[in-house]
């Protein structure tokens, strides 16, 4: 598992500035612009305005929505979300993609269902289940393609964590700020130019996100609190929606340093790390990194 992490990180670093430039412009290597939005909740409760924004961007209550309970170990997760969308929000066309194995992700019927969707929603659980099962499969490619063409991707907790290029798995020693400490896997890469963390303020996950950002200063660290979402637009801006905070760490212009600690670990330090604490209604531009602006007023 660690070997997979290291190999992926090495490949990404070799791509260098080209990857970063493509990420920050919302473009792909073939020059086509990404048209889809993201609505990513940090876990915990799912505020009504967050769910309503996802449904609106999917095309309204009658739009086809596909739920992936893949991250969850509970067999009734798909049924829970189907009832939530139908009974609480009046959605009329909700399907559950019961994709639990890589073989499930080969199913052409599920891939076709995804390609017809206006919105795709990922449940919470263990984000590793999502990427292990879906990356590089027909269903996984359908998700990327339909988002590219305009479908909204939503998620909560693990369903949020898997959307950045590098995915934090939850493994590591989060009492320190050191290199080679936080386990990273390949994510979907849809929240481009960042590494995203969830349950952020509620669970005090600052150390692990800072560690990742200092090892990968080309990526913004975006920590999304519980009952809070980032609504990510195709132009590279995101708006905070919900009840809590979003914390952004920006080391792109910082002086990152490292030194060997007493136990042999590479301890990380930095001068000039920027930190932003965003409130509901704030809008942040991931490409420019300018101070956040208010869009529609706080709360």
The residues annotated with a catalytic role in the active site are 157, 199, 226
Burial class (CB in 10 A: 0-12, 13-18, 19+), 32: exposed
d(CA 119, CA 139): 14
User: Which pairing describes strands 65-68 and 119-122: parallel, antiparallel, or unpaired?
Assistant: parallel
CB 199 within 8 A of CB 169: no
Q: Does the CA dihedral 89-94-96-102 come out positive or negative?
A: negative
Name which of 192, 144, 196 is nearest 21 in CA terms.
192
CA gyration radius, the chain: 18
Q: What is the dihedral of CA 168, 169, 175, 176, to 10 degrees?
A: -50
Q: What is the end-to-end Cα distance of the chain in Å, rounded?
A: 42
């Amino acid at each position: 598992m660690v070997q997979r992490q290291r190999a992926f990180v090495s490949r990404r670093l070799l791509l260098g500035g080209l990857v970063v430039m493509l990420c920050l412009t919302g473009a792909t290597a073939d020059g086509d612009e990404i048209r889809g939005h993201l609505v990513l909740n940090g876990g915990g409760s799912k505020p009504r305005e967050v769910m309503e924004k996802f449904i609106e961007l999917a095309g309204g209550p009658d739009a086809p929505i596909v739920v992936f309970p893949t991250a969850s170990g509970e067999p009734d997760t798909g049924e829970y979300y189907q009832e939530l969308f139908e009974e609480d929000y009046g959605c009329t066309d909700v399907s559950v993609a019961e994709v639990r194995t890589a073989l499930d992700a080969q199913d052409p019927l599920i891939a076709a269902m995804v390609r017809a969707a206006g919105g795709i929603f990922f449940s919470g659980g263990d984000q590793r289940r999502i990427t292990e099962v879906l990356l590089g499969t027909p269903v996984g490619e359908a998700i990327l393609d339909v988002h590219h063409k305009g479908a909204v991707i939503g998620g909560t907790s693990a369903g949020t964590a898997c959307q950045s290029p590098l995915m934090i798995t939850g493994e590591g020693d989060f009492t320190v700020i050191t290199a080679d400490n936080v386990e990273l896997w390949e994510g979907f890469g849809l929240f481009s130019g960042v590494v995203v963390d969830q349950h952020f303020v509620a669970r005090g996950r600052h150390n692990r996100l800072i560690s990742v950002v200092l090892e990968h200063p080309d990526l913004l660290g975006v920590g999304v609190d519980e009952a809070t979402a980032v609504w990510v637009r195709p132009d590279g801006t995101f708006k905070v929606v919900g009840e809590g905070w979003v914390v952004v760490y920006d080391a792109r212009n910082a002086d990152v340093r490292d030194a060997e600690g007493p136990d042999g670990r590479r301890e990380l330090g930095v001068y000039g790390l920027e930190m932003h604490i965003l409130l509901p209604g704030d809008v942040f531009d991931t490409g420019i990194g300018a101070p956040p602006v208010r869009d529609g007023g706080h709360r």
